[in-house]
Structure 1
Amino acid sequence: MTGDDLRRMRLYCNRTSEEMAKKISVSLSTYEKYEAGLEQPKASHLLVLNLYCRLSLTPLLIHIRELINYYNPYKDFKNDKTNSNRISAKQKHHKPEPEESEHE
Protein backbone atom coordinates (compact mmCIF):
# COMPACT_ATOMS: atom_id res chain seq x y z
CA MET A 1 0.00 0.00 0.00
CA THR A 2 1.46 3.33 -1.02
CA GLY A 3 1.35 6.62 0.84
CA ASP A 4 -1.21 7.87 -1.67
CA ASP A 5 -3.40 4.86 -0.87
CA LEU A 6 -3.20 5.67 2.83
CA ARG A 7 -4.11 9.28 2.19
CA ARG A 8 -7.08 8.30 -0.01
CA MET A 9 -8.25 5.82 2.62
CA ARG A 10 -8.03 8.48 5.34
CA LEU A 11 -9.94 11.02 3.28
CA TYR A 12 -12.54 8.43 2.25
CA CYS A 13 -13.37 7.64 5.86
CA ASN A 14 -13.21 11.34 6.83
CA ARG A 15 -10.46 10.98 9.43
CA THR A 16 -7.59 13.27 10.34
CA SER A 17 -3.95 12.25 10.28
CA GLU A 18 -3.95 12.57 14.05
CA GLU A 19 -6.83 10.11 14.40
CA MET A 20 -5.14 7.60 12.09
CA ALA A 21 -1.82 7.90 13.94
CA LYS A 22 -3.51 7.50 17.31
CA LYS A 23 -5.39 4.41 16.14
CA ILE A 24 -2.15 2.56 15.33
CA SER A 25 -0.21 4.08 18.25
CA VAL A 26 2.39 5.97 16.23
CA SER A 27 3.35 9.62 16.33
CA LEU A 28 1.78 12.06 13.92
CA SER A 29 5.14 12.62 12.23
CA THR A 30 5.54 8.86 11.68
CA TYR A 31 2.08 8.60 10.15
CA GLU A 32 2.80 11.58 7.92
CA LYS A 33 5.97 9.79 6.73
CA TYR A 34 3.78 6.82 5.80
CA GLU A 35 1.53 9.03 3.70
CA ALA A 36 4.52 10.77 2.14
CA GLY A 37 5.98 7.41 1.16
CA LEU A 38 9.13 7.93 3.22
CA GLU A 39 8.43 4.95 5.48
CA GLN A 40 6.30 1.83 5.27
CA PRO A 41 3.76 0.96 7.97
CA LYS A 42 3.66 -2.53 9.44
CA ALA A 43 1.18 -4.94 7.89
CA SER A 44 -0.66 -5.08 11.20
CA HIS A 45 -1.08 -1.28 11.10
CA LEU A 46 -2.55 -1.48 7.61
CA LEU A 47 -5.02 -4.10 8.77
CA VAL A 48 -6.08 -1.97 11.75
CA LEU A 49 -6.50 1.12 9.57
CA ASN A 50 -8.59 -0.80 7.03
CA LEU A 51 -10.86 -2.00 9.83
CA TYR A 52 -10.95 1.47 11.40
CA CYS A 53 -12.13 2.94 8.11
CA ARG A 54 -14.61 0.07 7.68
CA LEU A 55 -13.15 -0.91 4.34
CA SER A 56 -13.47 -4.36 2.87
CA LEU A 57 -10.48 -6.58 3.55
CA THR A 58 -11.22 -8.73 0.50
CA PRO A 59 -8.80 -6.89 -1.86
CA LEU A 60 -6.07 -7.10 0.76
CA LEU A 61 -6.67 -10.81 1.33
CA ILE A 62 -6.71 -11.47 -2.42
CA HIS A 63 -3.37 -9.70 -2.74
CA ILE A 64 -1.90 -11.75 0.10
CA ARG A 65 -3.14 -14.95 -1.56
CA GLU A 66 -1.53 -13.87 -4.86
CA LEU A 67 1.78 -13.28 -3.08
CA ILE A 68 1.61 -16.70 -1.41
CA ASN A 69 0.95 -18.35 -4.77
CA TYR A 70 3.78 -16.39 -6.38
CA TYR A 71 6.29 -17.46 -3.74
CA ASN A 72 5.10 -21.07 -3.38
CA PRO A 73 7.78 -22.44 -5.75
CA TYR A 74 10.41 -21.18 -3.30
CA LYS A 75 9.20 -23.25 -0.38
CA ASP A 76 9.03 -27.01 0.09
CA PHE A 77 5.72 -27.34 1.94
CA LYS A 78 5.92 -31.11 2.52
CA ASN A 79 8.19 -30.64 5.50
CA ASP A 80 7.98 -26.84 5.86
CA LYS A 81 11.71 -26.44 5.23
CA THR A 82 13.40 -24.03 2.90
CA ASN A 83 13.18 -25.29 -0.67
CA SER A 84 15.81 -27.94 -1.23
CA ASN A 85 16.08 -26.88 -4.89
CA ARG A 86 17.70 -23.53 -4.10
CA ILE A 87 21.31 -22.96 -5.03
CA SER A 88 23.71 -23.47 -2.19
CA ALA A 89 26.17 -20.69 -1.45
CA LYS A 90 28.84 -23.39 -1.01
CA GLN A 91 28.51 -24.41 -4.65
CA LYS A 92 29.74 -20.97 -5.66
CA HIS A 93 27.38 -20.66 -8.62
CA HIS A 94 27.51 -16.92 -8.33
CA LYS A 95 31.22 -16.45 -9.03
CA PRO A 96 31.87 -13.36 -11.14
CA GLU A 97 32.84 -13.97 -14.74
CA PRO A 98 36.59 -13.68 -15.43
CA GLU A 99 37.78 -10.48 -16.99
CA GLU A 100 38.33 -10.53 -20.75
CA SER A 101 41.96 -9.51 -20.19
CA GLU A 102 42.57 -12.83 -18.44
CA HIS A 103 41.64 -14.70 -21.64
CA GLU A 104 44.26 -12.96 -23.76
Structure 2
Amino acid sequence: MTDTATASPLAEIIAARLTAALAPSQLEVRNDSHLHAGHSGDDGTGESHFSVIVESPAFAGQSRVARQRAVNQALADLLSTRIHALAIKASAPGE
Protein backbone atom coordinates (compact mmCIF):
# COMPACT_ATOMS: atom_id res chain seq x y z
CA MET A 1 0.00 0.00 0.00
CA THR A 2 1.36 3.40 -0.94
CA ASP A 3 0.18 6.69 0.52
CA THR A 4 1.63 9.93 -0.74
CA ALA A 5 0.54 12.47 1.85
CA THR A 6 0.82 16.14 0.96
CA ALA A 7 1.22 15.12 -2.67
CA SER A 8 3.71 16.84 -4.91
CA PRO A 9 5.43 15.80 -8.12
CA LEU A 10 8.67 15.03 -6.28
CA ALA A 11 6.82 13.03 -3.60
CA GLU A 12 5.38 10.89 -6.37
CA ILE A 13 8.85 10.35 -7.84
CA ILE A 14 10.19 9.37 -4.40
CA ALA A 15 7.31 6.90 -3.96
CA ALA A 16 7.91 5.37 -7.40
CA ARG A 17 11.65 4.98 -6.76
CA LEU A 18 11.17 3.37 -3.36
CA THR A 19 8.47 1.08 -4.72
CA ALA A 20 10.74 -0.10 -7.53
CA ALA A 21 13.77 -0.58 -5.27
CA LEU A 22 12.20 -2.04 -2.13
CA ALA A 23 8.76 -3.48 -3.02
CA PRO A 24 7.32 -2.08 0.20
CA SER A 25 4.27 -3.49 1.94
CA GLN A 26 3.63 0.01 3.30
CA LEU A 27 4.91 3.34 2.08
CA GLU A 28 4.12 6.90 3.07
CA VAL A 29 5.90 9.87 1.54
CA ARG A 30 5.21 13.21 3.17
CA ASN A 31 6.26 16.60 1.82
CA ASP A 32 7.30 18.59 4.91
CA SER A 33 8.68 21.56 2.99
CA HIS A 34 6.01 23.94 4.23
CA LEU A 35 7.36 23.42 7.75
CA HIS A 36 10.77 24.70 6.64
CA ALA A 37 9.79 27.72 4.53
CA GLY A 38 12.46 30.38 4.83
CA HIS A 39 14.89 28.06 6.60
CA SER A 40 18.25 26.84 5.37
CA GLY A 41 17.81 24.49 2.44
CA ASP A 42 14.44 25.91 1.41
CA ASP A 43 14.91 26.48 -2.31
CA GLY A 44 11.49 28.06 -2.78
CA THR A 45 10.09 25.14 -4.80
CA GLY A 46 8.04 23.73 -1.94
CA GLU A 47 9.76 20.38 -2.55
CA SER A 48 12.93 20.30 -0.45
CA HIS A 49 12.10 18.48 2.80
CA PHE A 50 10.47 15.03 2.98
CA SER A 51 9.68 12.23 5.41
CA VAL A 52 9.23 8.60 4.41
CA ILE A 53 7.79 5.68 6.33
CA VAL A 54 8.64 2.48 4.52
CA GLU A 55 7.96 -1.11 5.54
CA SER A 56 9.56 -3.74 3.34
CA PRO A 57 10.39 -7.44 3.55
CA ALA A 58 13.76 -6.43 2.09
CA PHE A 59 14.62 -4.93 5.50
CA ALA A 60 14.28 -8.22 7.42
CA GLY A 61 17.49 -8.88 9.33
CA GLN A 62 19.03 -5.53 8.37
CA SER A 63 20.29 -2.92 10.81
CA ARG A 64 18.75 0.55 10.98
CA VAL A 65 21.80 1.93 9.18
CA ALA A 66 21.59 -0.64 6.38
CA ARG A 67 17.91 0.18 5.89
CA GLN A 68 18.59 3.89 5.67
CA ARG A 69 21.42 3.27 3.23
CA ALA A 70 19.05 1.28 1.00
CA VAL A 71 16.57 4.17 0.96
CA ASN A 72 19.36 6.69 0.33
CA GLN A 73 20.73 4.56 -2.51
CA ALA A 74 17.33 4.43 -4.22
CA LEU A 75 17.14 8.23 -4.05
CA ALA A 76 20.83 9.09 -4.44
CA ASP A 77 20.57 11.44 -7.42
CA LEU A 78 17.58 13.25 -5.90
CA LEU A 79 19.39 13.66 -2.59
CA SER A 80 22.32 15.28 -4.35
CA THR A 81 20.20 17.64 -6.46
CA ARG A 82 16.60 18.16 -5.34
CA ILE A 83 16.07 16.94 -1.77
CA HIS A 84 17.63 18.97 1.03
CA ALA A 85 16.40 16.83 3.93
CA LEU A 86 14.92 13.35 4.23
CA ALA A 87 13.63 11.77 7.45
CA ILE A 88 13.44 7.98 7.20
CA LYS A 89 11.53 5.46 9.28
CA ALA A 90 12.25 2.00 7.85
CA SER A 91 11.01 -1.32 9.19
CA ALA A 92 10.40 -4.92 8.22
CA PRO A 93 6.86 -6.33 8.37
CA GLY A 94 5.82 -7.26 11.90
CA GLU A 95 8.21 -4.90 13.65
TM class, shorter-chain normalised?
A: under 0.3
Say which structure is richer in helix. 1
TM-score, with structure 1 as normaliser: 0.26
**Higher gyration radius (CA):** 1
